[in-house]
Chains A and B, each alone.
Chain A
Amino acid sequence: MSGDHDLRRSLGRAFGVRRSPLRPAGRWLHTNLGGSRILREELRHIFPDSWAFFLGEIALYCFIILVLTGIFLALFFQASEAPVVYDGPYAPLAGAKISVAYDSVLLLSLDVPAGLLVRQIHHWSALVFVGALIIHMLRTFFTASYRRPRRLNWLLGAVLLILVGLNGLFGYSLPDDLLSGTGLRIAFSITESIPFVGSAMATLLFGGEFPSSGLIARIYPVHIFLLPAAIAGLLGAHLGLLWLQRHTQFPGPGRSDRTVVGTPLVPAYALRTLGYFLLVFGVCTAFAGFVQINPVWLYGPYRPWDATTAAQPDWYMGWLEGAVRMMPGWDIQIGGLHIPGMFWPAVVLPGLVLTPLFVLPWLDWIVTRDGSFHNLALHAGQHAARAALGAGFTTFLSVLLVAGGNDVFAFVWNVSQPRLLLVLQIATIVLPPVVAVLTYLLVRAWERRGASAAHRPRVAGPHEPDLPPAGSAYGATGD
């Protein structure tokens, strides 16, 4: 039974040397899954070494943290707008008539032991989650890692980004405080602004005219079950594909489209990534412990007639808020058709921004006519046009993001708000092309100086026969 012998050897190595405390575990695996060729191979799954491949892991771990903390929060949150008189410890609201939902969040925050900490971990990790997703996607874009065979996985990632952002918006809407209600009101008028179907859609989604009763009860199952389940499923598929196709890797000695150089899953990579999970959890917990987030007791309950400055959505929705703030009101009336000004920045623009995200790999193929398999990532400086486009796109969204907080920035920087808005409006149009052209010129100059020549892949297989290479070599000497 040479296969058996092989397995024992590889498990032995995987779980450490002879006297390792993990030996019993290895033996258990061996006796129960013994002879499994798949297991033997997968335990040695090679992960290329680069910090860039941790970005997606931040997002993954944030998701896990969100699920864990969310379960705790769900023990206390009550999704109901029924009125109740507040009688908790927060004096400035004593005797106020508030909703059960808001009351339960106050209870969770101010009465339940560790409740506020867990709530804050949940919120901080949500902010980090979307940031990590975006940085992860930017990395994938600039290294052109979305090309064949990873086109489907890019698409899954883009869908994940949308779902995660939406779920964040829903979570933000649940506590029924002044900010969440303000956000929902804007979401309602955005939905309503869609021609023809808008008002029917808004009525369907929101259960009537805003503020409709029972809205929170509608959002709640979506936030805690529907979208998380969809995210978990897609995430599983995303990771499954990643496992099959492996990471791309940066070019280097011994690395090619057919060989992966890196660290094996067991034990080194498993330990490292477990450690990283704990670090992500640790950082989110540290921020939750020391920096207050979303103090709903200060914002007060939502009443449709109340308004406040500094009413922003969470940051990942900021670009939409910015677009709404900057767009001149193009309120159009053609015959019986009325298109409210909200339609352009809040429906058309996101459509224009997000569609390229979904079709990017195929757009790339149409432009470059490069349909071959790539397992080596490009360095950002290897393709000036791609870098330029990415930089311009990112700049555009960043300007929108800043505009989303323009009242706060105007206040903090002590500049005139209308003037700041004007500057941002101009920047939205001027800055992205300028940044794109500058990026293009810089990358070209860098290329000409030959700086990037050293990074070019040595092995460039012209064509892969079929699926990505299953074989993985690790430990090219001298690497």
Chain B
Amino acid sequence: MQLTIDNLTKEFTTDAGEHIVALSDINLEIRDSEFICLLGPSGCGKTTLLRIIGGLDQPSSGQVILDNQVITRPNPRMAMIFQEYSLYPWRNVLDNTAFGLELNGMSREERYAVAKRYLDLVGLTEFSQSFPYELSGGMRQRVAVVRALAVEPAVLLMDEPFGALDAQTRNKLQHDLVDIWEKTKKTILFVTHSVDEAVFLADRIVVLSPRPGRICENIPIEQPRPRDRTSVEFAQVRRHVLDLISLK
């Protein structure tokens, strides 16, 4: 897998007629199995970039290339996990998890078997008949993650998926995500505005500056995993990232 973002810009014209340059001159090479965090303050264009990579929006210029293929629409090799409304409220957990497989035309038996295996992976087997409104926010996001994994994409695109969760649940899901990543070796592009989250998760932090959104830093995080948030090393890395950001 090779994902390349090539000279990408995105401009919007608001309803008021105002011209906004949301992203400017974005170049990024993402390697196979890399865990990248896109870090930046709100409004700097993280969601816009992720949506363009996912093929949900078109760039104003430049392109996104996945293994020699220019992305112009959603591609089955990339799955997106949203922050909110990530599950279908009228489907139970099992049917939510099997959703992608169902669209691919897999038989009921087969897709349930696959979905159950993935629910097992995140310890949600006993909730397979529950509906999303019966689950906590953390559980819902877990289901959203395994629904994505079930279709075996090469790339996971995650837009502040844990942003609406409390700190404790959030830490737990970050741990789980690292576990999953280590097991499956997916390429992950994870959007966040939290330095702490980025330092905990990423192989590499790509920092976006606000208005127009540009890549202003590319920070490799070489700290071995599992990372310990309370350790001195972790604090040093976080300090380093914060220094780099605040210089901007």
Q: Do A and B come from one complex?
A: no
| Interfacial residues, chain B to chain A (CB-CB below 8 A) | none
| Interfacial residues, chain A to chain B (CB-CB below 8 A) | none
